[in-house]
Chain A
C-alpha cells in the first residue's frame, strides 16, 4: 500500500499529490512515469513523474480529473492509501549534446515538461519554455516553471493571463525571428504535439514528444501501447515514452486513445451517480 502524503488541488480540473514510494523515488528520472492502481477493482493508469525526493521517499504526480480512476484519486485525502504504485517506467529523457532547449507544454502537459525543464536547468542547459493553458484559472506550476527556466512564455487561449494565443503561434514567432534550439520538447494533448511538430518541421529543428497511449502493464508485455514511429511499430512504455515527433503517426494515436470512450463515458456516469467517489475497503 502506498500513502498519499500531500494533496494539493491545483484548480478545478487538476490535482497534485506526493505519494510515499521510496523504491520509485530512489530511481526516478525526468521523462519517466509510474503506474497506479487505486484498489482491487481499479485500472492500471500511467502518470508522469512530476517530481521526486529520494530522501523523503516521495514521488510527485499531477493529474487531470479525466475519467473514473483519476476522478476517484482526486477524491482521496492525505493519509489515505492506494493499493499499487510502480515505477519508474519508460526511458529517462535524453539530454546529451543539448545546450539550448525549448520546452512546449500544453495544459497538464506542463506537469510533464516541468521536471524535464528543471533537470536540464540544474545541469546548466539553457532552457526556454512556452506554457499554454485555456485560461487563467487553469494555470499551474507558474512559480516552479519560472524558477526552472531561463525564459518562460506563458500563454492562455483567451488572454486572461500572460499572452493571448496558442503555444504553436508563439513557437512559430520565435523560430521565424531566428531563435535557435538544439531540440524542442513538446508535451501535451496529442493534437497539440501534432501541431507543434508541424510548426518545427519547416525549420528542421529536432522535436521530441512524450506519447501517452493507453497502457496496461507498462513493461512491454501487452503491446496495447503500440504507436507507429517512422513506419515502425514501437511499444511506448518501453521504447519511449519519448520519440522523434516528426516520425510519429499522431492520427493513429488519437484514434487508438478513443477506443474505450463510449464505455468510459458510461462508467463516469456511474461514479457520479452511484458510488459518489472512492471505494473504501
Chain B
C-alpha cells in the first residue's frame, strides 16, 4: 500500500537566519530513512507522466522502486543511464515545471519529491559507491568541445564513453560554466562540479582552460589541428543592462560580475584577493534564479537590507519556487510590480538610491503574461549603496564573429536544427548558446543530442 501522505518528506535545512550569513549548503539532504519513506509515495504509474516531464527522460519510477528497497547503487545506475549529472540536477532543476510538475500525486497534495531523491541517490553514491571508470579504447577520432558548462560536459562525456578523443576548451581558469561561476556554493557545492570534471578526465577527456575560442584559436583552426567535429556549448554569458541613467555609477554590478567575483573568485573568503563592495543596502533588479542568487549572496556578505525589484507580480517570477521561498525566509524584501527608472549617486559617483515606479498588470503580451504598465507619478526611491542588474543574458558574439558561415538569429543565438547541427558542416551547438538563457537540464539534453549527431556524422564521413 502506497504512502498516501499529501506532503513530501520535508528537506532538512539550515535555519534561515543562520544560513543567510554563511555560504554553506542551505538544504542538507535527505537521510536514508527519509529517502526510503518518500519513495513509498510513488504510485509507479503505468503512463509515467513524470518521465515525459523530464528533458532527459530519467527513468523515474524505476529508480524510485530501487530507493524504496534501499538499493541505492542500483538506483544510481538507472538515473545515470540517461542523466550524467544527477547530483547537480537533483539540486537545481526547476522540478515544479518539469518532472514533479507532471507527477499525478501533485493533483492532490504535493508531488513525489523526485529531485530530492535524485540528489540523495547521487550523494549516496559519492559517499559510498565505487566509480569504476572504464577508460574507453580510443577510436582515433578527435572532437573539440567549446565551453565546459553542462552542455559541453555532457557532450564530452557521451563521446568519450564511445572512445572519441575529446578536448574541452574553456575561457575561464576553472571549468564548469555557470555551475562554477554563477550558481552559488550554498545551492551547489563546487566540490560536486569538480568531481564530475575529474570523472571526465579519468575517462580520457582533456580539459584546456584559459583558451578563448575566437581569440586563442578559431573554430577553423581547430579543424586544421585535426579535430573532425566541433561542439559549441559557449552559453549565454553576455549581460544585459537596463539603459537607465546612473548605470555606470560606482556600486552598480551586472549579476554576472557580482556572482563571478563571489563564486568563481571567492570574494567571500578572506584568503582570496578578489575585492567586492561591502554593501549595506542592495537592490537586485530581476526575478529569475540569477536575481535570487545575487540577493542571497549580498545578504551573506553582510548587507543589512536586500531588495528584489521586479516589474511583474509574484506569479510571473521565473525563479525556481524553492529559491523564492528560501529567499523570503532569508529576509530578502520583495518589491514586486516595481520598475527601476534611474539610479542616483552621491558627489563621489557612488550609488545612493534607486528610483522606481509602481506598475500594474494590463493585457497579456506575446509571452502570455500580463503586461506591466507604469502608474504615472508613482515614483519613489529606495536608499541603497549597491545595485545588481539581473535582467537576463544573451550569447556572446565572439565565436559567431570569428567563424565564417555560422548562422545566428536576431537574438545572437546560434541556429541549430533538431540534431544540433549548425549551418557549418561538422559544427554542432547546444545549450544556452542556442536557446538563450534556459536550464541546466535542457543544456545537458542538447549536449546529449549533439553527441549522438556527432557520432552519426563521423560514421558517415
B256–A86 CB distance below 8 A: no
Closest residue of chain A to B272 (Cβ to Cβ) is A41
Which residues of chain B in 208-241 are interfacial with respect to chain A, using CB atoms and an 8 Å cutoff? 209-212, 215-217, 237-239, 241
Determine how close the nearest CB of chain A comes to the CB of B385; give it in whole angstroms. Answer: 12
A228–B257 CB distance below 8 A: no
**In the complex, how many residues of chain B place their beta carbon closer than 8 angstroms to a beta carbon of chain A?**
39
Which residues from chain A contact B250 at a C-beta distance below 8 Å? 255-256, 259
Query: 6 extra interchain contacts, Cβ-Cβ under 8 A, other than A43-B265, A219-B237, A255-B250?
Result: A23-B216, A43-B273, A88-B215, A219-B171, A223-B257, A233-B243
22 A-B pairs whose Cβ atoms sit less than 8 Å apart in the complex:
A27-B217, A41-B271, A42-B273, A43-B265, A43-B274, A44-B265, A84-B173, A86-B171, A86-B173, A88-B216, A89-B212, A220-B237, A221-B237, A221-B260, A223-B241, A223-B254, A223-B257, A233-B247, A259-B250, A260-B275, A263-B275, A267-B275
Binding site for B on A (CB under 8 A): 23-24, 27, 37, 41-44, 68-69, 83-89, 216-217, 219-224, 226, 228, 233, 238, 252, 255-256, 259-260, 263-264, 267
A222–B239 CB distance below 8 A: yes
B172 at the A interface (CB under 8 A): yes
Which residues from chain A contact B248 at a C-beta distance below 8 Å? 226, 228, 233, 252, 256
Query: With A44-B173, A86-B212 known to touch, is A267 a contact of B273 (CB < 8 Å)?
Result: yes
Determine how close the nearest CB of chain A comes to the CB of B172; give it in whole angstroms. Answer: 7
Closest residue of chain B to A253 (Cβ to Cβ) is B248
Query: With A86-B216, A221-B396 known to touch, is A69 a contact of B273 (CB < 8 Å)?
Result: yes
Query: With A43-B273, A228-B248 known to touch, is A216 a contact of B257 (CB < 8 Å)?
Result: yes
B215–A220 CB distance below 8 A: no
Cα of A226 to Cα of B256 in the assembled complex, Å: 13
Closest residue of chain B to A42 (Cβ to Cβ) is B273
Cα of A256 to Cα of B215 in the assembled complex, Å: 27
A27–B273 CB distance below 8 A: no
User: What per-residue 1/0 map shows which CB atoms of B2-40 lie under 8 Å from chain A?
Assistant: 000000000000000000000000000000000000000
B136 at the A interface (CB under 8 A): no
Which residues from chain A contact B265 at a C-beta distance below 8 Å? 43-44, 216
B238–A220 CB distance below 8 A: yes
B173–A219 CB distance below 8 A: no
B257–A23 CB distance below 8 A: no
Determine how close the nearest CB of chain A comes to the CB of B144; give it in whole angstroms. Answer: 14
Cα of A24 to Cα of B243 in the assembled complex, Å: 35
B261 at the A interface (CB under 8 A): yes
Closest residue of chain A to B269 (Cβ to Cβ) is A41
Closest residue of chain B to A38 (Cβ to Cβ) is B273
